[in-house]
Amino acid sequence: MQWQTLDSTPSLLPLYWRAALKRKITGSTLPERGCRCRVHVDPKAVAAYRRVCGFADSPMLPATYPHILAFGLQLQLLTDKAFPFPLLGLVHLNNRIRIHRPLGGVGDVSIGVYAHNLQPHAKGATFDIATVVEDALGLLWEAQSQMLCRGVKLEGQAPNNSVLAPGPLNELTRWKAPTDIGRRYARVSGDYNPIHLSAPTAKLFGFPQAIAHGLWNKARTLAALGEHLPAANIEIDVEFRKPVRLPSEVILRSSAAGSSGEWELKGVGDLQHMVGKWQPIA
């Protein structure tokens, strides 16, 4: 793995321009190169993120917040000339985060991102975006986001990935995903994907309405689970199923609090938007 070390987090606007210009698949192998830099945690930005995602005030960073710190680096990686797939049109299938130590008192951290694990899929190919966050004591937080790129032709059989199937669950709470949540989340995350912003921009990409960001759904769910979850030594997996169209109401059903558990996020007519589980890091 070769690392490109940046002096600061990349500016997003030029990267969005690069993303808009690249519409074709240009290869079928992933570059063995990652991006990394030091990032400062801004308390005001964290507070704005808490408000949008429903997290209570706490000395701990929200479990999903390192994704926000890493977003510019991920965009840099995925819009690089050497990256073979266009960013627009990628589908986020699942996400796993691991919190190794409590996310309290976090100031400056080192963040690295890279892509790996390219595999055939029935609809194209999948790959993982890996994100690693370290502080002065070492590994603090890490994540894997599995992405689908349609239309890629790879040799071999698509693997049978395990599917999360929650057991008996009870309704914990419900909330409304308002029409403007995609724009509000974009302002705190930097993720201005058109499918999330408005019905007209979503229709350009085949969606009848705007849909909520998958990572907003996950963050809002973890905010609602709150005290159910351990603060560290925890792995949190989700599979994104059907998108949450905006506006809509969703229902969170969960197992009891403990070191491990499961949940699902459902919509109207028993539509399953997301399933997830938490457990100690193996």
Give domain limits for the chain: 1-161, 163-282
The 3-state DSSP class for residue 254 equals strand
Contacts of 171 (CB under 8 A, 6+ apart): 251, 252, 253
Task: Tell me the pairing of strands 261-266 and 272-279.
Answer: antiparallel
The answer to whether residues 91 and 148 touch, using CB atoms and an 8 Å cutoff, is yes
Which fold, 163-282?
Thiol Ester Dehydrase; Chain A (3.10.129)
The answer to whether residues 83 and 33 touch, using CB atoms and an 8 Å cutoff, is no
Q: Report d(CA 68, CA 64) in Å as an integer.
A: 8
The 3-state DSSP class for residue 56 equals coil
Sign of CA dihedral 183, 187, 189, 190: positive
Q: Report d(CA 78, CA 15) in Å as an integer.
A: 9
Q: Report d(CA 141, CA 112) in Å as an integer.
A: 11
- For the chain, the distance separating the N- and C-terminal CA atoms, rounded to the nearest angstrom, is 25
Residue closest to 228 by CA, chosen among 154, 278, 174: 278
pLDDT in tens, the chain (282 residues): 899 999 999 999 999 999 999 989 999 999 999 999 999 999 999 999 999 999 999 999 999 999 999 999 999 999 999 999 999 889 999 999 999 999 998 889 999 999 999 999 999 999 999 999 999 999 999 999 999 999 898 888 777 776 777 888 999 999 999 999 999 999 999 999 999 999 999 998 888 999 999 999 999 999 999 888 999 999 999 999 999 999 999 999 999 778 899 999 999 888 999 999 999 998
- Residues facing 120 on adjacent strands: 125
Q: So what's the pLDDT on residue 181? A: 98
Looking at the domain covering 1-161, what would its CATH class be?
alpha beta
Q: Report d(CA 108, CA 50) in Å as an integer.
A: 19
Burial (CB count within 10 angstroms: exposed 0-12, middle 13-18, buried 19+), residue 18: middle
Q: Rounded to the nearest 10 degrees, how much is the dihedral formed by the CA atoms of 34, 67, 176, 247?
A: -30
Q: So what's the pLDDT on residue 156? A: 81
The 3-state DSSP class for residue 128 equals strand
The pTM score is 0.94
Q: Tell me the two tokens of residue 45.
A: 């930005």
